[in-house]
Amino acid sequence: MTVEERSGLPSARRIVVKVGSSSISGDRTAQIEPLVDALAAARARGTEVVLVSSGAIATGLPFLDLSARPTDLATQQAAAAVGQNVLMNRYQRSLTRHGLVAGQILLTAGDLDDPSSRVNALRALDRLLALGILPIVNENDTVATHEIRFGDNDRLASLVSVLLGADALVLLSDVDAIYTKPPTEPGATRITAVAQGGSLAHVQFGGAGSAGVGTGGAGTKASAAMIASEAGSGVLITATELVGDALGGADVGTWFEPAPRPAGRASMFTAPGSAAE
C-alpha cells in the first residue's frame, strides 16, 4: 500500500528511516536510544522497518584521535572502518533492550546501478525482514570513491526505498521540517506539505548539517524526497528527536505526497523470489 498522508504512517506495511551523522554522533550519541525505541514501536505495530544510518566516519574520528572530518579519502575510509564497527555495536546494544537483532548492509552507488548487485541487495533485505531482523544500511565508505558517493545517504535512502517498494520514507535531520529559507533567518516559515509534482524553486536552502560531520543538507533531502515520492513512496522530512511522533502519524515535518504506484508493482526493481515480485 502507499501512505497518502503522514497520518497513515502508523499503518504502513514497510518504511525506510534515514538518520544522519550529526544526529547520532558526538554529543548526540544518546539520540540512538529514542530512535531505536521509535523503530521498535513501529515494528510492534506490524510495520517492517529498514534503517539507513550515516555516522561511520563521524563515529570513528575520536578513536583515531581526529577532531574533525578528514578531507582525504584514505583517512575517511580508515575512520569508517573503525566507526562502522562501533556504530553497529551501539545500535545492537540499544536494540537488545527490545529483543531485536540488527543486520548490516553496506552498499555503494555502483551496487544499485548494477542489476546483479541490485538483485542481491533486494533479496538480502527482503530475507532479513522476513526473518524479523532490523536491516541497517550504510554506504560502504571503506571502498567508495568520491565519484560514486551518495551524499550523506539521503539519496541512498531514497534508492533503498524505491528498491524495496516502501510505503514511506522518513528522512531525519537536525531541523524539524523544510522551511522557505534557513529557519534561523527572519521570516522563515515551515512548508507543511509538497504536492506531487510541486516545485520547491522558491525555497532558499542552507548548507549541510549543523554539527559539521555530515555532507547533506535540506537541499539533498528535498532531492531525495522527490526521487522516492515520484516512485510512489510518501516522504516525511523532520527532526531526529521527533521520530516517535513522526512514525506515530503526528502533524510534524514536511510531507511529500507520493505519485500513484502502478497496481501490482511494489518496486521499480524486482528480484527473483523476492517479496517485490
Element holding 255 (H helix, E strand): strand 254-256
Give pLDDT, residue 45.
Answer: 97
C-alpha cell of 209? 548539517
DSSP states along 168-192: EEEEEESSSS-BSS-TTSTT--B--
Question: Region 256-263: what's the mean pLDDT?
Answer: 84
How far apart (Å, rounded) are the C-alpha atoms in residues 91 and 212?
22
Give pLDDT, residue 146.
Answer: 58
Give pLDDT, residue 204.
Answer: 72
Give pLDDT, residue 150.
Answer: 60
* Annotated binding residue 94: no
First to last CA, the chain: 14
Give pLDDT, residue 132.
Answer: 97
- Note the CATH architecture for domain 6-256: 3-Layer(aba) Sandwich (3.40)
* DSSP code for 248: T
Number of neighbouring beta carbons within 10 Å of residue 16: 30
pLDDT in tens, 108-147: 877 888 899 999 999 999 999 999 999 999 988 787 665 4
Q: What share of the chain is helix, strand, coil (3-state, %, to 5)?
A: 45, 15, 40
Decide if pLDDT at 185 tops 70: yes
Give pLDDT, residue 125.
Answer: 97
| Range 64-86 burial, b when 16+ CB lie within 10 A, else e | eeeeebbeeeebbbbbbbbbbeb
* Annotated binding residue 54: yes
pLDDT in tens, 151-184: 568 999 999 999 999 999 999 998 999 898 888 8
| Confidence band of 265 (pLDDT split at 50, 70, 90) | very low
Give pLDDT, residue 199.
Answer: 74
| Confidence band of 6 (pLDDT split at 50, 70, 90) | very high
Going by C-alpha positions, the residue among 32, 236, 46, 55 that lies closest to residue 129 is: 46
C-alpha cell of 205? 536552502
pLDDT in tens, 194-244: 998 777 777 777 655 444 444 457 888 898 999 999 999 999 999 999 999
Average pLDDT score, the chain: 87
Residue 120, CA atoms < 13 Å, CB-side half-sphere:
11
Give pLDDT, residue 46.
Answer: 97
* Annotated binding residue 221: no
Q: At what angle do helices 154-164 and 115-130 cross, to 10 degrees?
A: 70
pLDDT in tens, 45-69: 999 999 999 999 999 999 999 989 8
* Annotated binding residue 141: yes
Decide if pLDDT at 266 tops 90: no
Give CA separation, 162 vs 23, 82, 189, 267, in Å: 24, 30, 30, 6
* Annotated binding residue 173: yes
Lowest mean pLDDT across 223-227, 240-244, 251-255, 264-268: 264-268
* Annotated binding residue 18: yes
